[in-house]
Amino acid sequence: MSLLVVGSIALDSVETPFGSTADALGGSAVFFSCAACLLQPVQMVGVVGQDYPFDALQRLAERGVDLTGVERRPGESFRWKGKYSYDLQNRETLDTRLGVFAEFVPRIPEAFREARYVFLGNIDPELQLGVLDQVRQASFVACDTMNYWINGKRDVLLELLRHIDLLMVNDAEARELSGDWNVYRAARWILERGPRMVVIKQGVYGAVLVNDGRVFYVPAFPLEEVFDPTGAGDAFAGGFMGHLARTDDQSPANLRRAMVYGAAMGSFAVERFSTQRFDEIGAAEVTARVREFGDLVQFDIGPGHER
């Protein structure tokens, strides 16, 4: 089934305790697509300036990402600069230069308007609503956001929640949106405002899916080497949505599988700087890691307690 992503296409400069990058490939639509295209072709919508290394994006096209919806406009590309703490748990935004992203109004190409699975990356919720006006038959819409919009455009964001199936946010965003520090109460608060389900990502502590009064937890993959957490959330979304679109199955069991594909892709994202790890892996590595998740959480309740 067709899979559409709308989001930022950035040049990231990142500092971690293990090194740094400058003007590397980044942005929510890029990380999402790098992960999702390992599972399912992707239709990407975003904007870049004339300084963007378009040949790097072209490599994504070779892997099944349709770039018809990527506009090239006069001006500078969106640039984001961040620095991570020693334990990689916190990051500080050092600089955000919007460039052509400031004027971004997503125009969904005619050929993408039939998309059945849609991911709205972190952009202005008014623009996210504008995307939904252009897609005709989405059967599953997922959406990300950030504290900037939670505080600055709360009413529009609440309106958006009424039109989506899944809100995928991190724990800090869930707390900020709901005003509740407990992530499970925050999830319930969000579900009462429209979405059928919510995914709350908790970085190194994994992620939870809450829907129909049930909670499913997927751990973060136990990696000994983590270089750059940037894009883990978007790669998670790419794995989750890529699996759902590929299978076109929204059953509870398959949503749980999608969570594991999400966690697997998130774990690949952090193993190298920028999107580099996705240049090295293919379907076999993805399947192998998903299998390893099986081992990670499988347990036997012991004699006398089986159902």
CB of 201 to ligand AMP, least distance (A): 8
CB of 112 to ligand AMP, least distance (A): 20
Query: Which is closer to ligand AMP, CB of 170 or CB of 211?
Result: 170
CB of 230 to ligand AMP, least distance (A): 5
CB of 31 to ligand AMP, least distance (A): 6
Query: Which is closer to ligand AMP, CB of 43 or CB of 122?
Result: 122
| Positive or negative: CA dihedral 258, 88, 170, 105 | negative
Separation of alpha carbons 196 and 211, rounded Å: 6
What tokens were used for 26?
Answer: 């980044």
CB of 179 to ligand AMP, least distance (A): 22
Query: Which is closer to ligand AMP, CB of 151 or CB of 287?
Result: 151
Give which of 43, 106, 101, 95 is closest to 76, Cα–Cα. Answer: 101
Query: Which is closer to ligand AMP, CB of 1 or CB of 88?
Result: 88
Contact 7, 27 (CB under 8 A): yes
What tokens were used for 29?
Answer: 């639509």
Which residue has tokens 């052509």? Answer: 100
- Which residues sit at the interface with ligand AMP, rule CB under 6 A? 8, 10, 12, 26-28, 80, 96, 122, 230-234
Query: Which is closer to ligand AMP, CB of 2 or CB of 157?
Result: 157
Query: Which is closer to ligand AMP, CB of 92 or CB of 248?
Result: 92
Query: Which is closer to ligand AMP, CB of 2 or CB of 25?
Result: 25
Query: Which is closer to ligand AMP, CB of 2 or CB of 270?
Result: 270
